[in-house]
Chains A and B, each alone.
Chain A
Amino acid sequence: MPTLTIDSRQISVPGNTKVIDAAERLGIMIPRFCYHPALGAVGACRVCAVNVKEGPMTGIQMSCMLDAGDGMVISTHDKDAVDFRMAVIEWLMMNHPHDCPVCDEGGHCLLQDMTVSGGHGMRRYPGPKRTHQDQYLGPLVQHEMNRCIQCYRCVRYYREYTGYKDLGVLGIGSRVYFGRTGDGRLESPFAGNLIDICPTGVFTDKPARFKGRKWDFERAATVCTHCSLGCSTITSSRYREIIRQEAGISPDTNDCFICDRGRYGFGYANLPDRPRQYRVNGNPCSRQTAWAKALDLLDTTANTNNPSTVALLVSARCTLETLVTAKHLCHRKGWHGPVWDAPSGNDIKSRNALDALAPELVATMKDVRESDFILAIGTDPVNEAPVLTLALRQAQRNGAHITVIDPRPVSLPFDFEHLPTSPEEMGDQLAAIVCAALGGTDLSHLSPAGKAFYDDLVLRNAAATVPDEIVVALKKSRHPVIVCGTHMVNEDLPVLAGECARMINQPERSAGLFYVLPGANGFGAAMFTETHTNAGLLLDKIKSNDIKTLIAIEPEGCAHVHSSPAMAGILKSLDCLLVMDYLESPLSRAADVFIPTATVFESGGIFINQNGTGRSMQPLYMGGTPIFQTGRTGPPPRLFESDIPGAEHVPAWLPLADWMGLSLSPDNSKRRLEILKYTIENEPWLSALPISGDTGETGIKLRIPNRRLNEFASLPHTRNNAGNSNSPEISLYTVEQTFGTELLSSGSPALDEVIPQIRAAMHPADAEFLNLADGENLTLVLDENHELPCNVKIETDMAQGFIFIPRRPDLPWPVPGFAPIPLHPDQIRREKGDLR
């Protein structure tokens, strides 16, 4: 712990602390451009100069490059240091345009702050400014190269941190240029972070351009709801419209960066045709009418039929408050559910995962970044949980060995080992790796169940061969992490992965377990929905007339695939369909009563991410409150009626609480806290959450009680490949894609341009068998009513016997929950006029 003096104040800091950070701990913010906590110190901009009065090297030094040493005396406001920093700012402003008023970064700009605070008010340099041509970088990021101050943050982030190579530095001297070799969309799905890390206006948010200054916005810390990672975001809104999102800082999850799906996926909340009107039988009506009608229908059903004929459907996009209220409502009324509307099978796999998630194994993204061996099984990070890719990349940069076992053509922006394996065989491969790595280890401490599990592994081991270097790397590893998906896996794989993590977790090796769950609140949905049912079974019950009333709350799978005649038929047999949502869908259009709900930006709410961290999000704006206006001199909002417009839609939990008879305050912000209090108080394991709703920057770690502690599960062998190997059938799977498959973000107009066309990925051997060439058009005949036109994409790095297509919400899929479809070669039709 060196102790040093900065500006006459002493501070002790841990070893390897840079002077710039030591000063920050004292509250002294030394100016910086090139220095960034996630990117490290490189000493390029020279604006963090300080004067070292006593130390091994005295004089002007760069505080970002200087390790704090014992006994150092440092001045940040010494004349030499201040003069030098002013000179640096003058140099940076030599070529920077003086047009802050028309620059989108203005008010939000580090260079602007430094120029003003550095006192560089007048231009002294008599020479001309060098200028550059801007490039087209796609629909999301705007490039204005003249504003560049050459801090190199962008390329260090883009090339080193994320591993993508299409943005770089060109030229030397004062002509260095940061861009691509030519116009074109940035390839990285993390390119939006350039906007955040650029200290000036070279990279700005293109869809948000000219929509407001920082001070015009209502801003709040939010949680990204576009996958299960729960990244930290900061959302800005103006006039009840979300304008832009930035990455928040959260060391345990996303560090400082988010993906473009999270950054630009908010568009669904702004859609002009978003349903904001109550409807009865498809006709707009007032809130009172709709509520009365809903109550009437529910009463009738409950009276004429049995209460168990009423079913409640929820999804992973519901807030924790909604899920808990739905659960309690069902219990109190004796209704069926709540049923989790998840893609086929993902619900049971998620529940299995949470069962295996032992508290001592829970890994955060930080643990992934710091791990030295990662085995990702049944997950495609870039497409399912994009920011996980960045965590893997950081581990890889630090020398971690990374293996992905997955049938899909997984592509990551760095070197890794991919074992393309069918879902049936993934478990065997995992077992083989763990078994081989444990060979020779003393396992005498294991319980009988543990030993039985190990014997089971040995049996499975015989079924697979794995590359030696993976085993060697795992043997050497001290902090291995097993990452397991919940989509492209068998039902028992999450348990197997969890138990394998427990197996390799030994005194000298602390293992981690990281699940990728479906949806933003998959954790909450798995915890608060009924275990012995699912959306598929529910539909069966409707068909068999066991369910007569369906209440769908922000549904996910069912809502968007029911265009099939079969599904329409199922819904016809309902007495009453009640839909509550903020998205329009075939289901909402068919509803007898439709209640428009508020998005998370309007209602706030808590989401539990895949590792059990609860993070709350404050509402940015609420219907029924006056619109925030910049400045105080403007006229007050004029009211023409007793209600302020925009107050019609309500949080989804509000009608539920009403039906349950909870008396809540009419005031939005008060009843938000009341429902939160109700949620926390009625679910004991949520008691770690504060009733104030403030979960802080890092969130609250929730641990599920009654998990099997130190006891291994016995696994049924669900392998079932008998006969499959000889069958000519090909399994058609729908898979997630970074853009276009996630329900909320696929409704965001900003992302329209980046959503790729539907292509059917297949193995070269399958393509040869089917006589198809890359780029050829074909039609997949799903059943007599459903045909899917698409385009062949041959991928060498995937398992044989599969076709993968993106799981677009608008796919005409005949099976509920996007369940895989076995295709006979006759069902794969080559289109005329093909490429050959």
Chain B
Amino acid sequence: MSNKYPQILFQNRKPDRIATMAEYKESGGYQALADALSNRSPAQVQEEILDAVLLGRGGAAFPAGRKLETVAEDAPHPRYVVCNADEMEPGTFKDRVLIHADPHMLIEGMILTGYAVNADKGIVFIRPEYEGAAKILEREIRFAEKEGLLGENILGSGYTFFIDVHRSGGRYICGEVTAQLNALEGRRPNPRKPPPYPTQKGLWGQPTISHNVETLCCFPHILRNGARWFRDLALTETGAGTKIFSISGKVNRPGCYELPMGVRLSEIIEVHAGGMVEGSTFKACLPGGASTGFLTPDFYDIEMDFDTLRKKGHRLGTGAIMVFDQKTCLTAATVNLLEFFARESCGWCTPCREGLPYIKHLLTLIENGQGSEDMIPTIKKMSAQLWNSYCAFAPGAVAPVESLLVYFEGEVREHIKLGRCLLGD
């Protein structure tokens, strides 16, 4: 492996099995928890996280420290910590790898988050397909409880925190924070419109902190090594920490790689993913899962961090890079993504429920060579209108469509002119 960078989240990753609690402890695990419980106040924990500029790794990149601060000190109890392990963004598979690599890192991260906001209970909301990971977590949670690291009076500190594992019903929308809370309450997983924000009134109306698996995994390391150390891990000024990239598509070594925030896309593809497969050249990639826009060869050298991409009008999302080569029809790829989104819409608001199938149908006609010129402005206008949906689902779903029509409009029009797909079989 040619990874020259420090491995933080993956330090105990093994090719054939998960890391045991002993191995995790040996690598410094649970030190941060012991230290925080005896030497730091919850406010100090919050400050350290804020200082580390840890941005939410689930795709929205909201500063984790800021989220912690929004739970008022006198907020009612019980308070909840929800770990979002409902990893359903197409192309993303980092959370599963993380749990299979080092489950206690997640458990410690959840306890620390709980301590930071004085929460009473943690819930891992996990995708039902991740049954293996759920079983691992359930087992390791019991081990942690036996060791006094979890449960009543953790390490004699007086702080009590429990963790439950909850399997999702299995819908993409359940990954949306507010929809996830509805799902946990046994309701339809329709998103809720803030205010109130979940940190004020979340699960069953109680203050609730929701974080992605990867975000939570960063907590122990930040608290053990300091905010400055964490920020310095990144290659760019604006970035902080490492990022786990899940790479798929036409590369030689698809997989999960922990790399510093701000590493260049070209380096990820050429060095870490082993370059493009024989006979393929880079045509485009989705940088952060299916709800981000295409990066064209113009962005081949871009520094992969949240800020840089945002400035260029893109999103790092979950860091799931899907690489397409010159033999792939991006219209067909987009239709494929849209099919997923149109199917997974919760059906609550009109634009998302009806607009996505509408656009999908038009784009399918185009891909099949049955399109007409007037469909392109219709799709463009409708994609823009989908931004007025109830939640962020539809804007994410049209991101690939919008960028397709920005960077590859010529290719789309070609379908209409020729009455067939140039790259199709």
Contacts and interface: CB of A to CB of B under 8 A. Distances in A.
A260 B354 CA distance: 34
B361 A91 contact: no
Interface stretch (A171-179, A246-254, A526-534, A609-617): A171-179
A176 B171 CA distance: 14
Interface string B352-365: 01110110011001
B361 A45 contact: no
B348 A152 contact: yes
Nearest to B345: A173
A60 B388 CA distance: 7
Given A44-B348, A127-B361, A150-B347, A176 B385 contact: no
A175 B385 CA distance: 21
B325 interface: no
A472 to B, nearest CB: 20
A43 B390 contact: yes
A531 B361 CA distance: 76
Interface in A230-275: none
Given A173-B344, A173-B345, A43 B350 contact: no
Interface in B309-360: 342-351, 353-355, 357-358
B353 A173 contact: yes
A94 B347 contact: no
Interface in B147-178: 171, 173
Contacts of A127: 357-358, 361
A169 B171 CA distance: 16
A171 to B, nearest CB: 7
B193 interface: yes
A110 interface: no
B345 A45 contact: no
Contacts of B173: 172
A164 B42 CA distance: 45
Given A44-B350, A95-B354, A127-B361, A172 B388 contact: no
B128 to A, nearest CB: 15
A815 interface: no
B353 A169 contact: no
Contact of B188 (A84, A92, A149, A169): A169
B353 A174 contact: yes
B351 A88 contact: yes
B389 interface: yes
B350 A150 contact: yes
Nearest to B391: A43
Given A94-B358, A169-B188, A174 B350 contact: no
B53 to A, nearest CB: 27
Contacts of A202: none
A91 B347 contact: no
Nearest to B173: A172
Interface string A109-131: 00000000000000011110000
A172 B346 contact: yes
Nearest to A46: B350
A92 B344 contact: no
Contacts of A149: 350
Contacts of B43: none
Contacts of A174: 342, 345, 347, 353-354, 357
B382 interface: yes
A612 B388 CA distance: 49
A87 interface: yes
Nearest to B347: A176
Given A172-B344, A173-B345, A174-B347, A44 B357 contact: no
Contacts of B357: 94, 127, 173-174
A150 B353 contact: yes
A339 interface: no
Given A91-B358, A94-B358, A126-B365, A46 B351 contact: yes
B358 A49 contact: no
A482 interface: no
Nearest to A177: B347
Contact of B353 (A49, A83, A126, A176): A176
Contacts of A88: 350-351
Nearest to B346: A172
Nearest to B355: A91
14 contacts: A84-B385, A84-B388, A88-B351, A94-B354, A94-B357, A95-B354, A126-B361, A126-B365, A127-B361, A172-B173, A172-B344, A173-B344, A173-B346, A173-B347
Given A43-B349, A46-B351, 7 more contacts: A46-B390, A87-B382, A88-B351, A169-B188, A171-B347, A173-B344, A173-B353
